[in-house]
Amino acid sequence: MRWNPVVQALAWAALVSPALPLSAVEPLPLLLAETEQGQADVALYLVSEKLDGVRAYWDGQALRTRNGHPIHAPAWFVAPLPPQPLDGELWIGRGEFERLSGIVRRQTPDDEQWRQVRYLVFELPQAPGTFRQRALALRKLTTTLALPWLQAVEQWEFGSRQALDEKLLRVSRAGGEGLMLHRADALYVTGRSDVLLKLKLWRDAEATVIGHQPGRGKYAGMLGALRVRTDDGVEFLLGSGFSDADRRQPPPIGSLITFRYRELTARGLPRFASYYRPRDL
């Protein structure tokens, strides 16, 4: 079946937020991670697993994605949540992002599917104290509430770089994405900051889809490659990492995607770049 880019773009926009125009929401002021490249003093950080989920912000009344779109969770899921803000990930399990995304995107929540979802929280936004203090307060809060679907993300400490790297390897081999390092002494901040670092065997980045390259041979009538542009203005073709379903229904022009790569070339191009998934909602 041949795909129509215009139809795909309209369908994608409707899927992202069927009831709310995209122009009516703004990205939330959340803390975003920098990439760890061997510069961190491991002893200064609390470390957790990087979850393959959907970022979810609870403002005390409503659950929203990082881009500000409402998440239509069942009433029983959100009604017992505390009146204070929480930041975390909706999660089912390692490697389950696609299934989770389908559940979260639905305008009418499916109770049975939502009972598989957990809200794993890693931050108390705008709360006083250091991250270590906030992590302890978060653990106490979730223990007191005792909701099966609400859990504080486990935080570890490592005394050496070798111990951290060994943990990264174990998590990655088990199907995890990587690790998150949060400065234990950091006050709460928003925006992209080196108080929070992501550590992965593969690097990842985001780019905007600016074109579709038609496929050939067995991919005739489907997507061959995406032409994308990074925030730095670097443009390149992204031709690997797609499933057949992705090639039949590719991310529309104008949408944001996440790609993985090993390193940057001298010209700033990502080496061994591969499509990963649409960017989190």
Q: Indicate if 136 and 51 belong to the same structural domain.
A: yes
**CA–CA separation, 64 and 58 (whole Å):** 7
Question: Is 98 a member of any domain?
Answer: yes
Res. 2: pLDDT tops 80: no
Q: What's 270's domain CATH number?
A: 2.40.50.140
pLDDT at 55 over 70: yes
pLDDT surpassing 80 at residue 9: no
| pLDDT at residue 203, rounded to an integer | 81
Q: How many domains does the structure of the chain reveal?
A: 2
Q: Same domain for 175 and 222?
A: no
For residue 1, is it within any domain? no
**First CA to last CA distance, the chain:** 27
CA distance 109 to 81: 17
207 and 193 assigned to the same domain:
no
Instruction: Mark which of 166, 199, 232 sits at the end of a domain.
Output: 199
Structure confidence at residue 280 (pLDDT): 67
Residue 85's CATH number: 3.30.470.30
Over residues 121-168, the pLDDT tens digits come to 999 998 999 999 999 999 999 999 999 999 999 999 999 999 999 999
Whole-structure pTM value: 0.74
**Residue 24 within any structural domain of the chain:** no
Is the Cβ–Cβ distance between 161 and 130 less than 8 Å? Answer: no
Same domain for 265 and 180, yes or no, is no
Burial code (b: 16+ CB inside 10 Å, e: under 16) for 93-126 equals: eeebbeebbebbbeeebeeebbeebbbbbbbbbe
For the chain, give the mean pLDDT. Answer: 89
With a cut of 70, say whether residue 10 has pLDDT above it. no
Percent of the chain with pLDDT over 90: 75
Does residue 164 sit in the same domain as residue 209? no
Q: Among 234, 242, 258, 231, which Cα is nearest to 50's?
A: 258
Residues 112 and 250 in one domain: no
Q: Which domain holds residue 189?
A: 31-199
How many other C-beta atoms lie within 10 A of the C-beta of residue 152? 22
Is residue 50 among the annotated active site residues? yes
Domain end marker among 199, 216, 238: 199
76 is a domain residue: yes
CA 52-57-60 angle, 5° bins: 145
Distances (CA, A) of 278 to 97, 174, 250, 252, 272: 10, 23, 10, 10, 18
Of 50, 167, 198, 218, the active-site residue reads 50
